[in-house]
Amino acid sequence: MMYIHYCRHCQRIHILNGHKYYCPRCKGHLAELKISYMKYVNLDRDERQALRRRCSDPQELFLLTVSPDKTRGRAKWLQIPASNIENYHSGHYAAYSH
Ligand SMILES: [Zn+2]
């Protein structure tokens, strides 16, 4: 199965086989997007660019990605109120920005 991943460091969307955590290009942390492979490949060029632009915004990216911890399920992840996203982000993802 192919999955759509976004690398914040390269600012690129990578289509990768399986659930990957590290960018094949820069070895940075990847975000796996909720969009399915089939849906992504059917996007036209403008739509792909729009998606990439959304991914470059941390708050949008948060909404577009699947939970990094799939074993806990997605429901808990989605229950975080929008107002908390920013705080949650800065704490949780602090390590990613280095
Ligand atoms: Zn990368």
The pLDDT score that the predictor gives to residue 67 is 74
Q: Which residue has the higher pLDDT, 89 or 57?
A: 57
Q: Model confidence over 67-87: pLDDT tens digits?
A: 766 544 444 545 555 554 454
Averaged over 54-68, what is the pLDDT?
91
How far, in Å, is the centroid of ligand 1 from the Cα of 24? 7
How far, in Å, is the centroid of ligand 1 from the Cα of 97? 13
DSSP string for 71-97 = GG-SHHHHTS-HHHHHHHHHHHTGGGG
Q: Quote the number of domains for the chain.
A: 1
Distance (Å, rounded) from C-alpha 37 to C-alpha 93? 26
Averaged over 13-32, what is the pLDDT?
96
Distance (Å, rounded) from C-alpha 79 to C-alpha 43? 29
Averaged over 25-31, what is the pLDDT?
96
- The overall average pLDDT reported for the chain is 81
pTM for the whole structure: 0.67
How far, in Å, is the centroid of ligand 1 from the Cα of 68? 17
Domain containing 74: what range? Answer: 2-97
